[in-house]
Amino acid sequence: MKRENLLPNWCLRHPVWFMAFYTVFYLSCFSLLEKSTPVSYILVRCRLDHLIPFCKYAIIPYAIWFAWIPFTLFFLLLKGTRRDFWRLCLPLFAGMTISLLVYLLFPSILALRPVYIPGTDIFARAVQALYRTDTPSNVCPSIHVLNSVTLLLAYLRCDCFKVPQRRWMRPAAVLLCVSIVCSTMLLKQHSVIDVVMGILLALLLDRVATRLQGRVIPYPSYQKKKELVS
């Protein structure tokens, strides 16, 4: 029996354009939210936040996150199966969209950033630049955490990471995911609450994506995979 999927045929045939259009959509919406001024904010904080020290060196894994997402998507697109690629896209992009809706309906703000960042080295300057460009608003759930956990689950699930020459990528993904999650708190970019909510949302959407396999996620054969690449 032939499976019918709910993804538009255009998306299946042009995955690169699909990612490009979604990136423009997400960045545009996020920018608008950053510039907006809600009537009131929900202040996110808990006692554990004050027990976590500030560490400027955490900017390294925090910044790597921006490259990890496109790297993983294109790696699966080129080296994995098309099913694995869309299996990652579904919870990844759905989670980012849901987070934007949460930011719109329940604006949140953080008050954990240090007043003074010690040092004048590249790490201190990078953190200062981050603080200037990224306001401490729209923080719960943490998209950094949401995406990192979603990516990690893809590394643990996809068969293309089982081959001997790529097995190192799984423990590397675990280490990177943990580092990024910790960096959001060490840089005082997110509260522990933001992190927990990001993890829970990632796990929930991954479970939903598993249930939707076959209806939303296509099953093209590996041999026909190259024909669908944009």
Q: Residue 75's pLDDT band (boundaries 50, 70, 90)? A: very high
- For the residues 9-25, what does the mean pLDDT come to? 81
Phi then psi dihedrals of residue 4, to 5 deg = -105, 130
Which residue in 35, 186, 43 sits closest to 110, CA to CA?
A: 43
Domain ranges in the chain? 9-214
Q: Residue 172's pLDDT band (boundaries 50, 70, 90)? A: very high
Quick: pLDDT tens for 26-35.
999 998 888 8
Q: Which is more confident, 201 or 134?
A: 201
- For the residues 174-178, what does the mean pLDDT come to? 97
- Predicted local confidence at residue 52, as pLDDT: 94
Please name the residue that has the structure tokens 């080296």: 79
- Predicted local confidence at residue 222, as pLDDT: 40
- Predicted local confidence at residue 38, as pLDDT: 76
DSSP string, 120-143: -SHHHHHHHHHHHHS-SBS-SS-H
Q: Compute the radius of gyration of the chain from its Cα atoms.
A: 19
Q: Please state, for a pLDDT cut of 90, what percent of the chain lies above it.
A: 61
- Predicted local confidence at residue 119, as pLDDT: 83
- Predicted local confidence at residue 118, as pLDDT: 84
- For the residues 102-115, what does the mean pLDDT come to? 91
